[in-house]
C-alpha cells in the first residue's frame, strides 16, 4: 500500500528536471537505498565515518554537478536525496565537493588544479573547509583571529579553527587566515599533515554524529606560497562559495523533511492502536498534511532560488531567506514526525530520532536562523541590525 502513495513532493517539482537529470537522480536514489540507508543509523550510533563508502560515492560522478553541466535544481535535489538517506553523508559531500572542490574550480591556479582537482573530484583525496574559529562564528569575517605572515616563499600560520567537518581525516583544508601585513583575508590549501597542525575530534555530539568535526590548532605552520589561493584577495571573494553552500543547506532542510515524512507516514500506516492504523485518526492525518505542506513549501522556495541561480543572480538575500525559512519549517516537520512515533520516536532504531537530532545542526550551520533572518531584514528595510 505504502509504495503506491504519493511522496512529499506533492506538487511534482522533480518533473522540472530534464529527462537525463531525472534518470540520474533515480540512480542516486538506488545507490543510497543500497549503500547508505541500511547502515546510516549504525554509523550514527557509533559516531564513525564509513571511509569504505568513498570509492562507491565517487562512482556516482557527481562532484560539483553544475561544473559538469547539470542544473542548479538538479544539484539541489541531489543534496536533498543524500540528506533524505543520511544528513551526515550529505554534509560530508557538501564540505568536500561544494566547498573544497568548488574552491579549486573557482580560485585554484592551473598548477593547483593539475595537482589536486581530479583526485579531489574522484575522492582519492578529501578536503575540508576551515573557516569557523573557537571564538568566531557568525562574526568570523571581521573577527578572524587566525593569522598568516609572509616569510619569503612561505607563509607562517598561527591560530585555531573549530567545527571543521571532515577535519579529523581530510588530506587538505581550505584554510582562511588574516594577512598580518595587509589585514586582508587569505585562502590557503593546507596539507593537513604539515608540522604544527594538530587535530582533535569533537565528541559528545547529539547531531551529525557520523560527521567527523574537529578542533584544529595551527602553531607556526609553514605553507608554501604555491599553496595560497591566488584568486582570493579578501573575504568578499568567498561570497560565491558561501552563497552556494547556504543554498545547499536549504536543500538539506528539504531532505530532512522528506526523510521525516517517509518515516512518519510509513509508521502511521503500519502502527495499530485501538484496533486500527493510527493513520486513520484525524489528528495524525492533519499532522501528516502539515508535514507535507511544509516540505512542499520548502521545495517551492528552493526551486525558485535555483531559477535565480540559473539567471546568474549573486549576493542574494533570497538565499538567506531560503535557509532561514526552510530550516524553520524543517524544525516543525521533524517535531511532528517525532510525535507521530510516540515513544518510538526517541530511539534511533526507528530512524526518526536521528532525523530529529540532525535537524538541529542544519538549523544552525551556514548562518544561524537569526543571522539569516537579519540579513533578510536588512534587505527589506535598508537598515542593518548587526555590525
Burial class, 327, CB count within 10 angstroms (exposed 0-12 / middle 13-18 / buried 19+):
buried
pLDDT at 387: 63
Annotated domain spans of the chain: 2-121, 127-233, 237-381
Which candidate, 50, 51, 30, places its Cα nearest to that of 42? 50
Q: What is the pTM of this model?
A: 0.95
| Confidence at residue 3, expressed as pLDDT on a 0 to 100 scale | 53
Q: Which residues contact 362 (CB under 8 A, 6 or more apart)?
A: 87, 249, 252, 253, 256, 327, 330
CATH of the domain spanning 127-233, picked from 2.40.50.220, 3.90.550.10, 2.40.110.10, 2.70.210.12: 2.40.110.10
Cβ(196)–Cβ(222) below 8 Å: yes
pLDDT of residue 335: 98
> Are the CB atoms for 358 and 88 separated by under 8 Å?
yes
Q: If you ran DSSP here, which 8-state letter would residue 133 be given? A: B
Q: Rg for the chain (alpha carbons), in Å?
A: 21
229: number of Cβ within 10 Å: 22
- H or E stretch at 115: none
| Locus of grid cell 530532512 | 256
Nearest to 288 by CA among 335, 343, 323, 336: 336
What fold, for 237-381? Butyryl-CoA Dehydrogenase, subunit A; domain 3 (1.20.140)
At 317-330, the pLDDT tens digits run 999 999 999 999 99
Q: Is residue 321 within a helix (H) or strand (E), and if so which, with residue range?
A: helix 317-340
Q: What is the share, in percent, of the chain residues with pLDDT greater than 70?
A: 98
Give whole-number Cα distances, 192 to 17, 67, 230, 349, in Å: 39, 26, 20, 36
Bridge partner list, 188: 175, 228
CB neighbour class for 36 (10 Å; exposed up to 12, middle 13-18, buried from 19): buried
Antiparallel, parallel or unpaired: β 172-179 and 147-151: parallel
Angle between helices 317-340 and 352-364 (to 10 degrees): 160
Q: Taking the mean position of all CA atoms in its chain, how far away is CA 273?
A: 38
- Please give the pLDDT value at position 66: 94
Q: Which CATH architecture has domain 2-121?
A: Orthogonal Bundle (1.10)
Q: What pLDDT does residue 244 have?
A: 87
Low-confidence ranges of the chain (pLDDT < 50): 1-2
Question: pLDDT per residue over 345-373, tens digit each?
Answer: 999 999 999 999 999 999 999 888 998 99
Amino acid at each position: 500500500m505504502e509504495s503506491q502513495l504519493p511522496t512529499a513532493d506533492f506538487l511534482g517539482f522533480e518533473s522540472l528536471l530534464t529527462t537525463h537529470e531525472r534518470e540520474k537522480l533515480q540512480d542516486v536514489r538506488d545507490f543510497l537505498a543500497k549503500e547508505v540507508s541500511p547502515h546510516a543509523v549504525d554509523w550514527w550510533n557509533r559516531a564513525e565515518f564509513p571511509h569504505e563508502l568513498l570509492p562507491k560515492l565517487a562512482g556516482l560522478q557527481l562532484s560539483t554537478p553544475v561544473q559538469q553541466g547539470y542544473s542548479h535544481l538538479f544539484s539541489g535535489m541531489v543534496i536533498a536525496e543524500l540528506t533524505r538517506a543520511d544528513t551526515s553523508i550529505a554534509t560530508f559531500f557538501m564540505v568536500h565537493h561544494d566547498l573544497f572542490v568548488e574552491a579549486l574550480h573557482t580560485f585554484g591556479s592551473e598548477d593547483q588544479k593539475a595537482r589536486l582537482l581530479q583526485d579531489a573530484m574522484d575522492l582519492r583525496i578529501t578536503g575540508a573547509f576551515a573557516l569557523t574559529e573557537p571564538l568566531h562564528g557568525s562574526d568570523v569575517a571581521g573577527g578572524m583571529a587566525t593569522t598568516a605572515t609572509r616569510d619569503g616563499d612561505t607563509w607562517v600560520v598561527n591560530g585555531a579553527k573549530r567545527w571543521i567537518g571532515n577535519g579529523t581525516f581530510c588530506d587538505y583544508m581550505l584554510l582562511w587566515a588574516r594577512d598580518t601585513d595587509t589585514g586582508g583575508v587569505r585562502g590557503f590549501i593546507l596539507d593537513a599533515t604539515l608540522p604544527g597542525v594538530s587535530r582533535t575530534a569533537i565528541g559528545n555530539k547529539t547531531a551529525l554524529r557520523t560527521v567527523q568535526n574537529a578542533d584544529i590548532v595551527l602553531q607556526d605552520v609553514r605553507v608554501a606560497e604555491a599553496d595560497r589561493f591566488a584568486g582570493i584577495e579578501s573575504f568578499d571573494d568567498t561570497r560565491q562559495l558561501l552563497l552556494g553552500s547556504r543554498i545547499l543547506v536549504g536543500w538539506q532542510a528539504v531532505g530532512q523533511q522528506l526523510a521525516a515524512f517517509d518515516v512518519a507516514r510509513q509508521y502511521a500506516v503500519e502502527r495499530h492502536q485501538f484496533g486500527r492504523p493510527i493513520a486513520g485518526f484525524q489528528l495524525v492525518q492533519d499532522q501528516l498534511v502539515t508535514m507535507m505542506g511544509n516540505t512542499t513549501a520548502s521545495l517551492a522556495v528552493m526551486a525558485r532560488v535555483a531559477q535565480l541561480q540559473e539567471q546568474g543572480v549573486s549576493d542574494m538575500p533570497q538565499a538567506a531567506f531560503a535557509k532561514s525559512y526552510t530550516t524553520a519549517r524543517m524544525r516543525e516537520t521533524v517535531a511532528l514526525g517525532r510525535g507521530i512515533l510516540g515513544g518510538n520516536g526517541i530511539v534511533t532504531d526507528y530512524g526518526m530520532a536521528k532525523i530529529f537530532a540532525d535537524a538541529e545542526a542544519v538549523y544552525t550551520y551556514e548562518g544561524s536562523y537569526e543571522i539569516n533572518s537579519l540579513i533578510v531584514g536588512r534587505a527589506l528595510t535598508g537598515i542593518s541590525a548587526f555590525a
